[in-house]
Amino acid sequence: MMEREKFSSRLGFILISAGCAIGLGNVWRFPYITGQYGGAAFVLIYLLFLVILGLPVIVMEFAVGRASQRSVALSFDRLEPKGTKWHLFKYPAMAGNYLLMMFYTTIGGWMAYYVLKMARGDFENMDAAGVEGEFGAMLGNPALMTGLMVLVVVLGFVICAAGLQKGVEKITKIMMISLLVLMLALVINSLMLEGGREGLEFYLRPDFGKLMEAGLGEAVFAALGQAFFTLSIGMGAIAIFGSYIGREQRLTGEAVNVMVLDTIVAFMAGLIIFPACFAYDIQPDAGPNLLFITLPHVFQAMPGGRLWGTLFFIFMFFAAISTIVAVFQDLISFATDLTGCSVKKAAVRSCLAICLLSIPCVLGFNLWSGFQPLGPGSTVLDLEDFLVSNNVLPLGSLVYVAFCTSRYGWGWDRFLEEANTGKGLAFPRAVRIYIKWVLPAIILFIFLQGYVAKFL
């Protein structure tokens, strides 16, 4: 078997794992979900879940990826004890990766379109109704949205087809660093907005009363989904990057780096968006369009706003593309691992598949808008997102936990040995009882009560 292509540097690995983690989940999903569930109190629960549930699961995914040297399409086949059926998990996991891309690419397309609109100065001197109207006009145009989606999909696969080091690693590195710098500048601008204070309070001062209003059970379920979504855990999407690194570093340290970077970006996105909502009188619970109806105002009011706005959407687009490229990398390895075909062939076929599969999400906003699967006003996007974030990711994480702690799976000792090979922060042996029993119990409980709260 040939050695797998490796990343050229540790920074490259951290940034691409962070690139996979940091994406629309941070800049688009985090602010709008936080807005829907009442702000700071929700953020606290989300942060807690990141640390007590998310962090151990990323370490497990990296460990399974590094030990098996395979994507989720083959990692369980390689590590499972003879005669067991863990490898069947590949099917829901691969389906989850596809399902994610089926709506993610559409939002990636919105970002691309907003780059253009900003650069053209479309929003200059527009009032709130006008800005919302522009967004609505885009949603109402299936041809435009399809074109944008296809553009994003093709671009993603072109980057992947260029190969791991030349394509994925290089591009992600540049994109992530530029994103961090630009966001910092926008945070400073937003903190100085007149009338933005109330937004900061909404975002940073916990008010559990508000959380109760939104429904505690549902909010906790949403926080779980967001924590897993933002870290990309539960369906082997991030595991694969464990298969591209050597054994010099222990995995817990790497996981902490990824989590911290991811959280910084989400936190900054909130700092940019919430003061702006309050300064320009936009409801923070507007939903998936929140980013697109608040930010044009910010830029309109800023000196040089057209340039800033264009740059902002370019980097948001980068954040989306870096995640898309990372997940496409997974889709391509599913195909190469399972059929042994070449990377180019795998890329072309997966590209076609994703283009077709992404159509329902696009049409859900216009031709099929009568289909409202999760209640009035909901769309295909909401359904696909719910299936991935609130089902595949938490349940898939349970599979990783069971696999890494059960003697009928890979087992605790082997997991620990892999995770703790190298230098850096060790995964503590003492937390075994917590990881094996408490952590899955928490996930399962939140999952079950989430269904009750949401649907009964």
CB nearer ligand PHE, residue 329 or residue 420: 329
- Of 59 and 327, the one with the shorter C-beta distance to ligand PHE is 327
Could you list the residues that contact ligand PHE (CB under 6 A)?
20-21, 23-26, 100, 229-230, 232, 237, 323, 327
Min dist CB 296 to ligand PHE, Å, is 22
With b for 16 or more beta-carbon neighbours within 10 A and e for fewer, the 143-175 pattern comes to ebbbebbbebbebbbebbbbebeebbbbbbbeb
Q: How far is the CB of 17 from ligand PHE (least distance, A)?
A: 10
Query: Smaller CB distance to ligand PHE: residue 17 or 289?
Result: 17
Instruction: Please report how close the Cβ of residue 207 comes to ligand PHE at its closest, in angstroms.
Output: 26
Q: How far is the CB of 306 from ligand PHE (least distance, A)?
A: 27
| Phi–psi pair at 249, nearest 5 degrees | -115, 145
Q: Tell me how far, at minimum, the Cβ of 323 lies from ligand PHE, in Å.
A: 5
Q: Give 316's DSSP letter.
A: H
- Planar angle of CA 173, 174, 178, nearest 5 degrees: 120
Q: Of 131 and 326, which has the nearer Cβ to ligand PHE?
A: 326
Q: Decide: residue 215, CB within 10 A, 0-12 exposed, 13-18 middle, 19+ buried.
A: middle
In the complex with ligand PHE, the residue whose CB is nearer, 230 or 390, is: 230
Give min distance, CB of 330 to ligand PHE, in A. 8
DSSP summary character for residue 427? P
Nearest 10 degrees: Cα torsion 270, 273, 277, 279: 110
Smallest distance, ligand PHE to C-beta of residue 206, A: 23
**Dihedral, 32, 38, 44, 45 alpha carbons, nearest 10:** -80
Q: Measured from the CB atom, is 50 or 186 closer to ligand PHE?
A: 50
Q: Which is nearer to ligand PHE, 310 or 389 (CB)?
A: 389
Q: Which is nearer to ligand PHE, 237 or 279 (CB)?
A: 237
CB of 291 to ligand PHE, least distance (A): 13
Q: Least separation, in Å, of the C-beta of 284 and ligand PHE?
A: 19
CA distance 46 to 43: 5
Cβ closest to ligand PHE, residue 148 vs residue 200? 148
CB of 387 to ligand PHE, least distance (A): 12
Q: List Cα–Cα distances, 385 to 216, 222, 245, 391, in angstroms.
A: 20, 11, 30, 9
Residues in the chain: 456
* DSSP string computed for 193-247: -TT-HHHHHHHHS--HHHHHHH-HHHHHHHHHHHHHHHHT-SSSTTHHHHTTS-S
What is the C-alpha end-to-end distance of the chain, expressed in Å? 52
Pick between residue 123 and residue 400 the one whose CB is nearest to ligand PHE. 400
249 pairs with which residues across the strands?
423
Q: Could you tell me the smallest distance in angstroms from the CB atom of residue 130 to ligand PHE?
A: 29
**Cα dihedral angle (344, 350, 356, 357), rounded to 10 degrees?**
-160
For ligand PHE, the closer of residues 300 and 358 by Cβ is 358
Looking at the Cβ atoms of 193 and 314, the one nearer to ligand PHE is: 314
Nearest residue to the partner ligand PHE, using Cβ: 25
Q: Which is it for the CA torsion 332, 333, 334, 337, positive or negative?
A: positive
SS3 content of the chain, % helix, strand, coil (to 5): 75, 0, 25
Per the structure block, which two tokens stand in for 454? 């949401």
Q: Where are the alpha helices (DSSP H) in 88-162?
A: 90-120, 128-139, 142-161
Alpha-carbon span 410 to 403, nearest angstrom = 5
Q: Least distance from C-beta 225 to ligand PHE, angstroms?
A: 10
Sign, Cα dihedral of 216, 437, 25, 186: positive
CB 249 within 8 A of CB 424: yes
